[in-house]
Amino acid sequence: MKLAVVINHNVSNTKNVLSKFEEELQKNALEYEVINVDNLKGGYDFICVIGGDGTILKTARYYANYGTPILGINLGRLGFLSQTGTDNIEKVIQCIKNNSYKVQERLMLKSGNFVALNDFVVKGCSTTRTSKFSLKINDKFVCDYIADGIIISTPTGSTAYGLSAGGPILSPDIDCLVIVPICPHTLTARPLVIPAREKITISSMDELLNVAIDGQEYSDKIKEFNIGMSDKKAKLAFLADDDFYSILRNKLHWGISPSSFASDK
User: How large is the average pLDDT for residues 133-137?
Assistant: 96
Instruction: Parse the chain into domains and list their residue ranges.
Output: 3-107+233-264, 109-229
What are the DSSP calls for 15-78, one per residue? Answer: HHHHHHHHHHHHHTT--EEEEEGGG-----SEEEEEE-HHHHHHHHHHHTTTT--EEEEE-SSS
In CATH, what number does 109-229 get?
2.60.200.30
Segment 165-202, tens digit of pLDDT: 999 999 999 999 999 999 999 888 899 999 999 999 99
Residue of 147, 145, 167 lying closest to 157 (CA atoms) = 167
Confirm if 227 and 250 have CB atoms less than 8 A apart: no
Residue 260's pLDDT band, with cuts at 50, 70 and 90, is low
User: How large is the average pLDDT for residues 251-256?
Assistant: 72
pLDDT in the model for residue 252:
73
pLDDT in the model for residue 133:
94
Does the pLDDT of residue 137 top 90, yes or no? yes
pLDDT in the model for residue 264:
53
Segment 32-47, tens digit of pLDDT: 999 999 999 999 999 9
Catalytically active residues are 53
Q: Which residues contact residue 3 at a Cβ distance below 8 angstroms, ignoring those fewer than 6 apart? A: 25, 30, 31, 32, 33, 44, 45, 46, 47, 48, 96
User: How large is the average pLDDT for residues 195-219?
Assistant: 89
Fold of 3-107+233-264: Rossmann fold (3.40.50)
Segment 216-241, tens digit of pLDDT: 877 777 889 999 999 999 999 988 66
- Please provide the distance, in angstroms rounded to a whole number, between the alpha carbons at the two ends of the chain: 44
Does the pLDDT of residue 143 top 60, yes or no? yes
